[in-house]
Chain A
Amino acid sequence: MPKAKQNLLSNAAVPVRKPLPPAYGKQIMEPYKPKHGLRHRILQHRTLYLLFIPVFAYFVLFKYWPIAMAWIVAFKELQLGSGVFDSPWVGLQNFRDIFGSPDIPNVIRNTIEISLLRLLFGFFPPILLAIMFHDMVTRRLKKWLQTFVYIPHFFSWVIVFGVVFGFFSVGAGFVNNMLDALGFARHEFLLDANWFRPILIGSALWKEVGWSTIIYLAALATVDAQLYEAAVLDGAGPLKRIRYITLPSIMPVVTFVLCINLGFLLNAGGEQVLLFYNDAVMDRADIIDTWVYREGLARLQFSIAAAVGLFQSVIGLALVVICNAFAKKISGRGIW
């Protein structure tokens, strides 16, 4: 038991800490050096390693092997009869074909614009909603509202398009009926290229905003409640508590989500766009995923599809790395 000394403020006995050894700080900074070799450790923890084998096999077989195959195919002209390995190498020809296509500049521009719009209008609402849920006092109302906003996540995009059509169609659409009732002319929203993106982003927000709060709510659950109590005692109002406690507490998660979302900049939600677009809005709607769907899958050009996938992956990875470095520089926090 360390020897106690008198605390002048509280009169309570506090333990006296032993002085640290001179090299203590240096020791913990040194990298961990295991005493035994890998083989010894595998043998020592063989049961755990054995349990890990299926997981390892799953990732190798279903994730990394397909990635490796796709990368190879990106540089080959895949012939179905020959398979991946016997198909001829074509070097960068697939990439030349992609970037030589007259559609591609517009397709890439659409992809980036739609992704940025998704980021702009889809990134902050879940944070705000999570904070609102976190600060909600009535538990029952909170649960009810959470359930209400989570439900759309479980609808398929086909259903969501059905809902959108029901809202925006000219004949019996809710929005047009409202416009009509208010004395305005009905409008062909679904044929208007200017309305395509607002409808796309709005419906995606409706579908996913609730579900996206989960990660922030999980982060908020770890915030020490005493911080809020102390802030209240210090006279901090709700906005100040959000500014000085809530937001800093979830900032690592926000950074993580932002970096990951940036990694998907060239994946602008192909399934949704595929269902929502039509010939009239094609110029504003066609994105890389839908272009690949038409060129690659429907026209049997799997090498082109693989090359585009590789391009998306490389750009995505670069963006994540840049975002992470930027976040670390600005806030001192990053994913790694």
Chain B
Amino acid sequence: MIRKTSSAAVSLLLLLSVLLAACSNNGGNDDNTTNQATGNAAKGNNAKENDANGGSAGTDDAAKPADLTYPEKFPDVPKAVDYDASYAYDDMSKHYNVDIMLNGFVNQPATQDKIKDFYEKTFNMTLTFTHLVRDDLVNKTNVRFASGSAPDVVAFGSSDDRSVAQALFKQKQLLDATEMLPYMPQMMTYVTQEYKNWATDNGSMVGIPRLPTFPDVWGNFIRQDWLKKLGMEMPKTPDELFAYAKAVTTQDPDGNGKADTYFMGAAGGGQGWGMLGGLMDMFGHRSWNVKDGKINNPMLDGTTKNYLTFLKKLNDEKLLAPDWYTIQWEPFKAYTMQNKIGMVNYPGWNLLQEQFSASKGDAATIENWAPVPPMSATGEEGKLGPGGAPGGIYIFSKKLADDPGKLKRIAHFLDAVQYPNKYYWVGNQGGGPEIWPDYTKVVKDEAAGTYYYDSDMVKLQNDMKPELKGMMDWQSVAYTLIWEKHKYSPEVPYNEPGDKYQDVVRAYPRQTNYDMLLNLPGATVNKLSDFTKKNEIAFVLGNRDLADWDKYVEEWKKAGGQELIDAAAEQLKAEKP
């Protein structure tokens, strides 16, 4: 009898477990992938999740979506909004659970996440924080929405992810961003008309454009010391650049007697041109543009062909680093920092800082690198690729419409961490003064009206143990270097030239950014991207003959190029070629 009763009890327990497992949603807290790091989920004991529809607002005097005013341009010197007055609408006595996903760069959990703790305490909420590499973020986001366990906020870190936002919006999964913006006065200082148009699809704003972390500061940097040693000038044309590439690889500029120096590499992990993509600007506009009143694409005017011909020449002459196409970004850094590479495409400050660190504090290495002014194959003024693109897009689950209180809390939180609002500094650079009061402070440059971190990086690095590195990913919520400068002092000699180089690159002439005015079908754009990537590398490796170019262009048109030409011509009101 006892045995039978026990069996029955065990069976019922097992059945219950199976049913519970089937009925529970994953909530983003299980099903971890390799690169996923998830913060702790709802703590429960003191978390009083507000009832749906029960989110009472405090003083709700926010603007109506229709009344929002979008500025024409970014403010020259942004100022923090009046914090207390701006967020009086948020009833801080209510507690909410907020689920946020983003594209980090550490993507590992911090064993003790002080930034998260600070946000939870300050904003009276329990955060679920998921940080993933970009591809995983897109896939995980899609799966979460498809499985009915959508996160509240996703912060995509690339402007290319607008198509994901558009697809989710079409599937009625997202809140119109104009529902959030009335509660975000700081954000409204930089959501320009151009940004707004970029994020608008069929009259709906599918998300809020984000400020870029590195705003148009990526440029080609060349080894100054090698140029001198090789007796060469700064290259101005593709031919001069090729001569430099050849000299770097064959004339042993590091003088170690070995053939171990190379011109450049893609470092894109086998997926696209990576840092070699910057060379395309020598040959023309790298994206959609209007030429003589007609719509144009680099595929059509010879820009892509000339660029690929140049890359093929580099590859045929073995001037590119070993594994130049398949190697990932981080392993490629080893070549760069060990003085094996003659040119890179990088943000100036980061390049100097990394070179300084790799040389164990040798200030002379800072002078190794200098930005290359835009080169040109045509004799016309060289220009860099189009600038001014957003750094990504925030999207919001439609569920928030059912919980106005939570919607306002999220708006409050996201707005409060925008530059230079009250809590902007908390989550950047691994933690601001609120997190590391002994090591970090924020100083205002009174002359410029901007701010910068004044941190004791040595002490901070000591306390920032490897198991805490995941905290760094909070930086991906709202960090931007548009206005922020670095502290200039002899201990950090790379800061001043690094900032200067970033300003120099930002000031270079650029091609017009027509992409901001376009809203092309995302599925076709993505499919065409796969098509072009595999064909372009085939041309460069010699697996496909460049004599086939015209045939290839026709294939490109059939694969979706023509559809995009038609759409772009219509949207830019230009003639078809």
**Which A residues lie at the B interface, using CB under 8 A?**
47, 50-51, 53-54, 57-58, 61-62, 78-81, 102, 156, 158, 165, 169-172, 186, 188, 190-191, 193, 277-280, 282-283, 294, 297-300, 302
Assembly CA distance A54 to B20 (angstroms)? 12
Residues of A within 8 A of B172 (CB): 79-81
Assembly CA distance A300 to B534 (angstroms)? 22
- B516-570 at interface with A (beta carbon < 8 Å): 522-523, 526, 530, 533-534, 536-538, 541, 543, 559
| A298 adjacent to B142 (CB under 8 Å) | yes
| B19 adjacent to A300 (CB under 8 Å) | no
| B323 adjacent to A190 (CB under 8 Å) | yes
> How many A-B pairs fall under 8 Å by CB?
113
Assembly CA distance A172 to B4 (angstroms)? 65
B14 at the interface (CB under 8 A from A): yes
B81 at the interface (CB under 8 A from A): no
| B537 adjacent to A79 (CB under 8 Å) | no
B52 at the interface (CB under 8 A from A): no
User: If A171-B321, A279-B272 touch, does A156 touch B34 (CB 8 Å cutoff)?
Assistant: yes
A177 to chain B, nearest CB (A): 11
- B137-164 at interface with A (beta carbon < 8 Å): 138-139, 142-143, 145-146, 164
| B15 adjacent to A171 (CB under 8 Å) | no
Closest to A291 in B: B530
Residues of B within 8 A of A102 (CB): 559
Residues of B within 8 A of A156 (CB): 34
Assembly CA distance A91 to B329 (angstroms)? 45
Assembly CA distance A282 to B270 (angstroms)? 10
Assembly CA distance A229 to B138 (angstroms)? 62
Contact of A171 among B8, B322, B523, B533 (CB under 8 A): B322
| B171 adjacent to A279 (CB under 8 Å) | no
Assembly CA distance A186 to B322 (angstroms)? 10
A-B contact list, 9 entries, CB within 8 Å: A80-B173, A169-B322, A171-B322, A190-B326, A191-B541, A193-B543, A279-B325, A300-B164, A300-B167
User: If A50-B8, A279-B537 touch, does A80 touch B145 (CB 8 Å cutoff)?
Assistant: yes
Contact of B326 among A186, A191, A193 (CB under 8 A): A191
| B139 adjacent to A190 (CB under 8 Å) | no
| B173 adjacent to A53 (CB under 8 Å) | no
Chain B facing A: main interface SS: helix
B512 to chain A, nearest CB (A): 29
A40 to chain B, nearest CB (A): 18
Assembly CA distance A158 to B33 (angstroms)? 12
| B143 adjacent to A297 (CB under 8 Å) | yes
A242 to chain B, nearest CB (A): 42
Contact of A170 among B12, B17, B168, B323 (CB under 8 A): B323
Residues of A within 8 A of B171 (CB): 79-81, 300
Contact of B11 among A51, A80, A279 (CB under 8 A): A51
Residues of B within 8 A of A53 (CB): 11, 14-15
Closest 10 CB pairs of A and B: A278-B270, A171-B322, A81-B172, A54-B14, A170-B322, A282-B534, A80-B171, A61-B22, A279-B533, A50-B11
| B18 adjacent to A61 (CB under 8 Å) | yes
Assembly CA distance A47 to B1 (angstroms)? 11
Most B-side CB within 10 Å, residue of A62, A172, A188: A188
Assembly CA distance A50 to B13 (angstroms)? 11
Assembly CA distance A79 to B146 (angstroms)? 9
B442 at the interface (CB under 8 A from A): no
Residues of A within 8 A of B571 (CB): none
| B559 adjacent to A279 (CB under 8 Å) | no
Residues of B within 8 A of A280 (CB): 270, 325, 534, 537-538, 541, 543
Residues of A within 8 A of B143 (CB): 297
Assembly CA distance A327 to B325 (angstroms)? 47
Residues of B within 8 A of A54 (CB): 11, 14-15, 17-18
| B323 adjacent to A169 (CB under 8 Å) | yes
B333 to chain A, nearest CB (A): 13
| A171 adjacent to B325 (CB under 8 Å) | no
- B1-48 at interface with A (beta carbon < 8 Å): 4, 7-8, 10-12, 14-15, 17-19, 21-22, 34
Residues of A within 8 A of B12 (CB): 50
B482 to chain A, nearest CB (A): 30
Assembly CA distance A53 to B269 (angstroms)? 49
| B537 adjacent to A81 (CB under 8 Å) | no
| B22 adjacent to A50 (CB under 8 Å) | no
| A61 adjacent to B15 (CB under 8 Å) | no
Assembly CA distance A216 to B35 (angstroms)? 36
Closest to A301 in B: B523
A-B contact sample (16 more), CB < 8 A, given A61-B18, A169-B322, A171-B322: A47-B4, A50-B11, A61-B19, A62-B18, A80-B145, A80-B146, A80-B171, A169-B326, A171-B323, A277-B270, A279-B536, A280-B534, A280-B541, A283-B538, A297-B142, A300-B168
Residues of A within 8 A of B534 (CB): 279-280, 282-283
| A294 adjacent to B530 (CB under 8 Å) | yes
Assembly CA distance A51 to B8 (angstroms)? 7
| A47 adjacent to B7 (CB under 8 Å) | yes
| A298 adjacent to B139 (CB under 8 Å) | yes
Assembly CA distance A188 to B265 (angstroms)? 14
B463 to chain A, nearest CB (A): 31
Assembly CA distance A156 to B34 (angstroms)? 10
Closest to A282 in B: B534
Assembly CA distance A234 to B11 (angstroms)? 55
A110 to chain B, nearest CB (A): 13
Residues of A within 8 A of B327 (CB): 169, 171
Contact of A302 among B146, B168, B173 (CB under 8 A): B146
Closest to B532 in A: A279
Assembly CA distance A80 to B269 (angstroms)? 33
Assembly CA distance A277 to B168 (angstroms)? 28
Assembly CA distance A170 to B142 (angstroms)? 37
B48-69 contact mask (Cβ, 8 Å, vs A): 1 or 0: 0000000000000000000000
Assembly CA distance A302 to B147 (angstroms)? 11
- B366-413 at interface with A (beta carbon < 8 Å): 398
Closest to A52 in B: B11
| B22 adjacent to A62 (CB under 8 Å) | yes
Assembly CA distance A62 to B20 (angstroms)? 12
Closest to B535 in A: A279
Assembly CA distance A191 to B533 (angstroms)? 13
B271 at the interface (CB under 8 A from A): yes
Residues of A within 8 A of B323 (CB): 169-171, 188, 190
| A50 adjacent to B7 (CB under 8 Å) | yes
| B11 adjacent to A190 (CB under 8 Å) | no
| B526 adjacent to A299 (CB under 8 Å) | yes
Contact of B270 among A171, A190, A294, A300 (CB under 8 A): A190
Assembly CA distance A298 to B271 (angstroms)? 16
Most A-side CB within 10 Å, residue of B10, B142, B272: B142
B521 to chain A, nearest CB (A): 11
A199 to chain B, nearest CB (A): 12
Assembly CA distance A102 to B138 (angstroms)? 25
Most B-side CB within 10 Å, residue of A53, A171, A279, A297: A279
Residues of B within 8 A of A283 (CB): 534, 538
Assembly CA distance A279 to B269 (angstroms)? 10
Assembly CA distance A80 to B145 (angstroms)? 7
Assembly CA distance A81 to B11 (angstroms)? 37
Residues of A within 8 A of B321 (CB): 171
Contact of A278 among B21, B146, B325 (CB under 8 A): B325
Residues of B within 8 A of A78 (CB): 146
- B189-243 at interface with A (beta carbon < 8 Å): none
Assembly CA distance A204 to B543 (angstroms)? 27
